Amino acid sequence: MTTMTDAALAEFKMPDVGEGLTEAEILKWYVQPGDAVTDGQVVCEVETAKAAVELPIPFNGVVRELRFPEGTTVDVGQVIIAVDVAGGSGSAAAAPAPVSLPEPAAPEPEPAPQGRQPVLVGYGVSEASTKRRPRKGDVVAAPAAVTQPAPAPSPEPEALAKGNGRPLAKPPVRKLAKDLGVDLASLTPSGPDGIITREDVHAAVAPAPERVVTQVQVEERAQSQEPVATAPAVVQDGVRETRVPVKGVRKATAAAMVGSAFTAPHVTEFVTVDVTRTMKLVEELKADKEMQGLRVNPLLLVAKALLVAIKRNPEISASWDEAAQEIVRKHYVNLGIAAATPRGLIVPNIKDAHAKTLPELATALGELVSTAREGKTSPGAMQGGTVTITNVGVFGVDTGTPILNPGEPAILAVGAIKLQPWVHKGKVKPRQVTTLALSFDHRLVDGELGSKVLADVAAILEQPKRLITWA
């Protein structure tokens, strides 16, 4: 992804940061023309249809020009930054200003050669793609005291990294601040180690936009109606419609859903089940020493129930190869979990979930959820899924007719668990009840097979001891 235009100038092209991705949006530049860069230093953050990724530069030198401003969608293979690898100050100074960026970079001192340890998906590094990168301020704090007085252009020290002009915030928080028009440098961080949180950004805008309100949980919405009631104040007088560019996760989701809906013939079946015993088991597991510190909730047992049902009905684990006119049987399960994130809906999956014990499955679920919330889910984590669970119950919804994730044979929707009158042992009693919905590809799955899988999941949740007897 690097070209040499002359003896002193190297060009860095937008790499394919996933598998077969064709474009990415530049979210943030971390360098400006005239800045020195070192091999492996992160120079920008980009967002693809699958993940937010930081791009390290593969050589040393001085930035000559940035070819695109923040917010621009760039095709893979286009040059995004030019670097004077000779490192001559004269070359850098003589270079014309390339693009008028929205704002100049904070006055960062030149980074030390032992900078970050970034990971770039697509450069062949598969591990640590969800790890948090070291903060730039931790590396350059010492040089900051040697060079020009760092505080001169930065009057808001509370929200800035130590010895650095860049506020500390995670990528989803930066994206949120950009969408709401909030200057991170003007905020007072409330998070640990001086990190700006989503709450800090929300507190800076009153009222919060409706787009953000729709992403909070139903319980939070019920506690405070202020964001909903005052949201129209954000819209300028006379403006009745707003157009939002379709890109990133939303663009990919739209294409995938349309392709799935009009390619795979969907069938959805429903069953209502008494999950009182499962809810009691959840409470018992929370108190179990073997499960201490793990994420134990109803979704964990639903996932285990689905895995057991697939083991009892292995024909459902398959995919349709249209080109070869073949059905591909899969003797493994990569379990996808639909997750609503600040970037939109994503479906990361747990690799080889069928081979995991309950504690291992709980650990994998916890890591999947926390990584998704931080916006650090890697493209590889969202590929190769074989079946998906979507938990619409967290929004208080009874059930739905979920659309298949492309290439997968089935998706299970889990509805809200509610206390309802139920006939139990011949008497009407209040029981905890939920509704399950299983959508499946009718090319692969006949009604009998789909019904067996759904019935097995329901039977396990009604009598969770079947997790032992059937497994």
Which residues are catalytically annotated?
442
Amino acid at residue number 238: G
- Cβ contact 185:159 at 8 Å: yes
What is the rounded distance in angstroms from the CA atom of residue 176 to the CA atom of residue 202? 9
Helix 447-462 / helix 276-286 crossing angle, nearest 10 deg: 60
- The tokens for 4 are 């040499």
Q: Is 90 helix (H, G, I), strand (E, B) or coil?
A: helix
Residue 253 belongs to what H/E stretch?
helix 248-261
Beta strand spans in 114-209 (E): none
- Three-state DSSP at 450 gives helix
10 Å CB burial of residue 210 (0-12, 13-18, 19+) is middle
Whole-number Cα distances in Å, 175 to 47, 71, 72, 126, 183 = 10, 10, 14, 25, 11
Write phi, then psi, for 462 (nearest 5 degrees).
-75, -40
**Rounded distance between C-alpha atoms, residue 239 and residue 214, angstroms:** 20
Helix, strand, or coil here: 251?
helix
The rounded distance, in Å, linking the Cα atoms of 426 and 94 is 88
Which tokens hold the place of 227?
A: 């964001």
d(CA 147, CA 342): 38
> What does the block give as tokens for 43?
């120079």
